[in-house]
Amino acid sequence: MANLRVAAMAFATTLPLGAAAQAPPPYQPGMGDLMVMTVQPRHLKLGLAGEVRNWAYADFAQHELEESLENVEKHIPKWRDFDVAQLMAATVKQPLEEIEKAVKARDGAAFDAAYRQLTDACNACHRSAGLPAIVIKVPDGSSAFPNQEFRPARP
Ligand code: HEC
**CATH number reported for the structural domain that contains residue 64 in this entry:** 1.20.120
Neighbours of 39 (CB within 10 A): 19
pTM score of the predicted model: 0.86
* Helix orientation angle between 93-105 and 40-51, rounded to the nearest 10 degrees: 30
Hey, whose CA ends up nearest to atom 21 of ligand 1? 35
11 vs 69, more confident:
69
**Is 111 in contact with 35 (CB distance < 8 Å)?**
no
- Spatial distance between the Cα atoms of 48 and 114, rounded to a whole number of angstroms: 14
Give the total number of structural domains in the chain: 1
Q: How far is the CA of 5 from the centre of ligand 1 (A)?
A: 35
Within-domain flag for 38 = yes
- Spatial distance between the Cα atoms of 118 and 126, rounded to a whole number of angstroms: 13
- Spatial distance between the Cα atoms of 94 and 76, rounded to a whole number of angstroms: 20
**Is 101 in contact with 50 (CB distance < 8 Å)?**
no
Hey, whose CA ends up nearest to atom 39 of ligand 1? 122
Which atom of ligand 1 is closest in space to residue 73's alpha carbon? 1
Hey, whose CA ends up nearest to atom 8 of ligand 1? 35
Within-domain flag for 122 = yes
Judge whether residue 1 has pLDDT over 50. Answer: no
Mind listing the pLDDT tens digit for each residue in 10-58? 455 555 555 567 899 999 999 999 999 999 999 999 999 999 999 999 9
Within-domain flag for 89 = yes
Q: How far is the CA of 14 from the centre of ligand 1 (A)?
A: 41
Note the pLDDT of residue 41: 96
Domain that holds residue 48: 31-128
Radius of gyration of the chain (CA): 20
Note the pLDDT of residue 151: 80
Helix (H) or strand (E) holding 82: strand 82-83
